[in-house]
Amino acid sequence: MKITRITMRHLSMKLRSPFETSFGRSEARDCLLLEAIADDLVGYGECVADRDPGYSYETVQTAWHILGDFIIPAILNQEILSPQDLQSKMDFVRGHLMAKAGLEMAVWDLIGKREGRPLRELLGGHRIKVDVGVSVGIQDSPSALVRVVEGYLAQGYRRVKIKIKPGKDVLETQTIRQVFPDLRLQVDANSAYRLETASVLSPLDKLNLLLIEQPLAEDDLWDHSQLQKNFTTPICLDESILSVRHARQALEMKSCKVINIKAGRVGGLSEAVAIHNLCHSQQVPVWCGGMLETGVGRASNLALASLPGFSLPGDISATERYYFEDITHQRFSLNSDSTITVPQEPGLGVTIDLQALERVTQSKKGFR
Ligand code: OSB
Ligand code: MG
């Protein structure tokens, strides 16, 4: 296929409630939406870089620059044979994996629409619904946290992740465990500790957690391997895994026992599937992480999480957990068994509410 036109938009969507992690607090979620036209088909892709460089060095503005000034000019009107072919055409750009992943998603959507097949099927997924959980931001007090978790349990979520940071970690997690003894519970530190300071987390090892996510630095595999030796609870890596090579090295070094896969973080769905395949072949559990996506990115996450190796619930929640209004006509809701149904329509399986899209568009740029 040849992509003849692309529109790139900077979106800002107000969150229903502020989301706080160890790297900061946000009231709104920014991202880029790519609209790619090939023949008479329109494909969409979400680039999950945020406004601030807190989770990753990439931001909406770096992605805007890399896509607009380098990647889009290089691929426009070129024959693109497959997502892999697109990746080889983007190879001249070092890093900037979220920018690349956003465009790759639009190409997957176009391929699915051209072939009349849902993304789930293109990726090799079989599940028609996937187990999900909710990621709960840092709250003002342990009792506030209990109330928020209670609210999500009342909505039907059966797995909860709580964000932690130094000073808001052990007491918070112990409190939740005490109030909800059987809850499937995990924590995420987003790189807030160092090997020397992570010993404060040792009481967590007695709380029957599913996993402890990304306690140490984003560029560190070695110290995670040292930390994992002191914990029975599996360490799960998020920020540290940017490629299938990192995943292989992390497993060889025993830096983790579980991997969180986000297509945006690893440069796209192709690399995400490769990491899944590696882990699946070694019986290493993986799960689908989230980046507070719009309906576009959520559809992509659901398709990815339908692959057989995704054996733990994903950070994929219902639309209403994030936004009052979304940019897709489809709103995702939680089934009574704490699952969300995977879209079945061709490509991502979502259609865009153009009026809603205009309301959240901060700026846009067209290429042809
Ligand atoms: O570390 O998993 C993370 C959101 C933004 C950036 C990083 C993370 C998160 C989440 C939210 O935990 C997961 C979701 O989309 O529900
Ligand atoms: Mg994480």
Of 299, 329, 324, the C-alpha closest to 314 is: 299
- Are residues 37 and 76 in contact, defined by beta-carbon separation less than 8 angstroms? no
State the pLDDT at residue 17: 97
Q: What is the best residue among 164, 315, 334 to mutate for testing ligand 1's pocket, by most ligand atoms within 8 Å of CB?
A: 315
pLDDT in tens, the chain (368 residues): 999 999 999 999 999 999 999 999 999 999 999 999 999 999 999 999 999 999 999 999 999 999 999 999 999 999 999 999 999 999 999 999 999 999 999 999 999 999 999 999 999 999 999 999 999 999 999 999 999 999 999 999 999 999 999 999 999 999 999 999 999 999 999 999 999 999 999 999 999 999 999 999 999 999 999 999 999 999 999 999 999 999 999 999 999 999 999 999 999 999 999 999 999 999 999 999 999 999 999 999 999 999 999 999 999 999 999 999 999 999 999 999 999 999 999 999 999 999 999 999 999 999 99
pLDDT at res. 33: 98
Residue from 218, 173, 224, 210 nearest 191 by CA: 218
pLDDT, position 149: 98
pLDDT at 14: 98
- Which residues, 6+ apart, have CB-to-CB distance to 211 below 8 Å? 186, 233, 234, 235, 236, 257, 258, 312
Q: What is the pLDDT of residue 199?
A: 96
Q: Residue of the nearest CA to atom 7 in ligand 1?
A: 291
Q: Is there an atom of ligand 1 within 6 Å of 239 CB?
A: no
Closest to 106 in 3D by CA, of 240, 255, 277, 269: 269
Q: What is the pLDDT of residue 280?
A: 98
Q: Which ligand is nearest to the CA of 135?
A: 1
- Which residue of 15, 17, 21 sits with most ligand 1 atoms within 8 Å of its CB, as the best mutation to test the pocket? 21
**pLDDT value, residue 140:** 97
313 Cβ inside 6 Å of ligand 1: no
Tell me, what's the pLDDT at 7?
98
Q: In 3D, which of 291, 243, 289 has the Cα closest to residue 32?
A: 291
Whole-angstrom Cα distance, residue 33 to residue 102?
8
pLDDT recorded at residue 152 = 98
User: Which pLDDT does position 24 carry in this prediction?
Assistant: 97
* Whole-number pLDDT of residue 148: 98
Say if CB 101 and CB 267 are below 8 A apart. yes
pLDDT at 271: 98
Give residue-wise pLDDT tens across range 148-194: 999 999 999 999 999 999 999 999 999 999 999 999 999 999 999 99
The confidence score (pLDDT) of residue 88 equals 98
Strand pairing class (361-367; 41-47) = unpaired
- Ligand 1 in reach of 250 Cβ (< 6 A): no
Cα of 28 vs centre of ligand 1, distance in Å, is 13
Give the β-pairing of 235-237 and 339-341: unpaired
